[in-house]
Amino acid sequence: MNFENNLSVKLKGVGDGFWVTLNPLAKEAKLKKDISQLFERLKHLAINAKVVIDIGDGVGYDELISNIGLFLKEKFDVGFVSQSPRKKSKPLKRIRQRDLSKEWAHHRSDVLMIRGRVRSGQKITTKKHIVIIGDINPGAEIYVGGDIIVMGKLMGQVYAGYPNNDKAIIIAIDFKPTQVQIGSFIARELNKNSSEIRAKFACVKKSIVVIQDYLKANPFKDIPWPEVI
Amino acid sequence: MEGRIIVVTSGKGGVGKTTATASIGAALAMEGNRVAVIDMDIGLRNLDVVLGLENRIVFNIVDVVNKKCKIRQAAIKDRRIENLFLIPASQSDNKDILSTSGIKRTAKTLKKEFDYIIMDSPAGIEKGFENSVVAADEAIVICTPDVSSIRDADRVIGLLYARSITPKIVVNRIIPKMVAKGDMLNHQDIMEILSVELIGLVPMDEQVVISTNIGLPLVMQNDSKAGQAFKRIARRLNGEIDLPIEIPISKTGIWNKISQKFGLTK
Ligand SMILES: Nc1ncnc2c1ncn2[C@@H]1O[C@H](COP(=O)(O)OP(=O)(O)OP(=O)(O)O)[C@@H](O)[C@H]1O
Ligand SMILES: [Mg+2]
């Protein structure tokens, strides 16, 4: 949090009220002084206004918050004071700790790993993710509950996230499938006659199966730590 | 030594199984082997016509399997090619008439009497296909340079693998001019998908139709390019594994055949 000008308080107008961000580490007197400085500028606008008090990630400041609330009601006639809803996500610190402690050592990932050519008329079905080291020929079918990774040429029919996991993905080193389905969505244009060999990546975005160059899109570059899927 | 039973199959119909069976069988016999070609396409007999032996049929493979006659009685001896015999299909029965045990028993006897037994399988992967492969030691899968034929060949390869048979591939009906223009799949693209051993490339050749019509084995016509290709396939089967595979080319009359050596293309 950034508190400018040595103030322990920030004030923002939101809708029909005000959002007050406090530095809970500051002394109560200092907070009240800074609040007064900001609220005096509001003049009559503060009267009967709704005020939300936000202390960020801090915990155990309920008394401070209710004191500040009372202070605002008495001194500036604000109407209604509430606390900002707690964020649902785990504190960043704990996520980091978990990942540093090697989450993958405690979780089993459900992956079926296969080597060799999958031929026409063959059908591989699994609830897991699948990694195939080899080619998938035209006429072959892969139906999996999770993701599909093909270390080879994908020419057959593939269905990731079967039957309705739209978050599943498909990656192939040479992506030339006859048909692609992810969750409840079927890919429309596949351009399988292109002769160039490119690693591609398919996922569902806004109810459409999007196929992108895998290296260019680099879809997982923003996941800061390895996580188990 | 026991003879080898080789099934010629494809999945898709009309790709040249019967032509290949007749030609490879005849070529193997011309190389000095005792050869029986057997028409397993029960109800749709063809092999006799292609070999020009249709007017000499007395018994057929169904009679042999059902012990109505001896192999010797059903096998028609070719008069032009020494050591070539045809056991025809029956035209009236259907495929269910053959029992697996009957076929296996017959196969045992055939292996004692012949060096090569070439089985012409019907199209499809049902009972007729099962009957043709149940006793086979080896398989040749015929495909043509089109997507549906390749897909069916691939399916059949999987089914043969499941029976511990690793088939070899013949690509038939290649039109070099179209391949050169990029209008027809080339054999590299096909083999990339099928990825088993290639044993021959056979060009489209009008002599095939002519020879069928006059009932003269293709491999006896020296000016037939398809016939020559089938002859080389027979030699490869017969042990000349280093014989290079010739790629059909469009320039007629010029003997600058580009050949490519394949070794073991896996
Ligand atoms: N290399 C070739 N060049 C020209 N025509 C060919 C060639 N190979 C086969 N043919 C023709 O294609 C047709 C089908 O051939 P063939 O009967 O051998 O196929 P098949 O696989 O046995 O068919 P089916 O599945 O009906 O038994 C025939 O008319 C044959 O003459
Ligand atoms: Mg036939």
pLDDT confidence of A205, banded at 50, 70, 90?
very high
ipTM, 2 dp: 0.78
How far is A58 from A81, CA to CA, in rounded Å? 18
Does residue B264 surpass a pLDDT of 60?
no
A111 in the same domain as A191: yes
Scanning every residue of chain A, which has its alpha carbon at the shortest distance from the alpha carbon of B191? A137
A225 within some domain = no
A221 within some domain = no
A64 in the same domain as A115: no
A139 in the same domain as A172: yes
- For the segment A176-191, what is each residue's pLDDT rounded down to a tens digit? 999 999 999 999 878 7
Substitution candidate for ligand 1 out of B9, B15, B19, B146 with most atoms within 8 A of CB: B19
A120/B195 touch (CB, cutoff 8 Å), yes or no: no
Percentage of chain A lying above the pLDDT 70 cut: 88
Task: Report how far ligand 1's centroid is from the alpha carbon of B204 (Å).
Answer: 10
A130 within some domain = yes
B12, B148, B154: best to mutate for the A interface, most A CBs within 10 A:
B154
CATH classification at residue B92: 3.40.50.300
A138 in the same domain as A59: no
B220 within some domain = yes
A109 in the same domain as A159: yes
Please tell me the number of Cα atoms within 13 Å of A6 on its side-chain side: 3
The token duo for B184 is 């027809």
- For the segment B66-80, what is each residue's pLDDT rounded down to a tens digit? 999 999 999 999 999
| Residue-level pLDDT at A95 | 62
| Residue-level pLDDT at B147 | 94
**CA distance between the termini of chain B:** 29
| Residue-level pLDDT at A15 | 76
Does residue B262 surpass a pLDDT of 80?
no
Q: What is the DSSP string of chain B?
A: ---EEEEEE-SSSSSSHHHHHHHHHHHHHHTT--EEEEE--TTS--HHHHTT-GGG--S-HHHHHTTSS-HHHHPEEPSSSTTEEEEPPPSSS-GGG--HHHHHHHHHHHHHH-SEEEEEPPSSSSHHHHHHHTT-SEEEEEE-SSHHHHHHHHHHHHHHHTTT---EEEEEEE-HHHHHHTSS--HHHHHHHH-SEEEEEEE--HHHHHHHHHT--GGG-TT-HHHHHHHHHHHHHTT-TTSPEEPP-S--S-----EE--SS--
A126 in the same domain as A76: no
Print the domain residue range for A162: 104-213
A222 within some domain = no
Substitution candidate for ligand 1 out of B50, B125, B208, B230 with most atoms within 8 A of CB: B208
How many structural domains are present in chain A?
Answer: 2
**A residues 80-139 closer than 8 Å to B (CB):** 117, 119-122, 135, 137-139
CATH classification at residue A133: 2.160.20.70
Contacts with B155 from chain A: Cβ below 8 Å? 119-121, 139
A73 within some domain = yes
A30 CB-near residues (< 8 Å, 6+ apart): A8
| Residue-level pLDDT at A40 | 87
- For the segment A97-154, what is each residue's pLDDT rounded down to a tens digit? 665 666 666 677 789 999 999 999 999 999 999 999 999 999 999 999 999 999 999 9
B83 within some domain = yes
A114 in the same domain as A204: yes
A65 within some domain = yes
How many structural domains are present in chain B?
Answer: 1
> Which pTM was predicted?
0.76
Contacts with B195 from chain A: Cβ below 8 Å? 117, 135
pLDDT confidence of B261, banded at 50, 70, 90?
very low
A130 in the same domain as A57: no
Looking at per-residue pLDDT, the higher value among B101 and B262 belongs to: B101
B169 within some domain = yes
A109 in the same domain as A208: yes
Contacts with B190 from chain A: Cβ below 8 Å? none
A49 within some domain = yes
B266 within some domain = no
pLDDT confidence of A42, banded at 50, 70, 90?
confident
**Region of poorest pLDDT, from A21-25, B50-54, B202-206:** A21-25
A182 within some domain = yes
Print the domain residue range for B230: 4-261
A128 in the same domain as A27: no
Q: What is the mean pLDDT of chain B?
A: 92
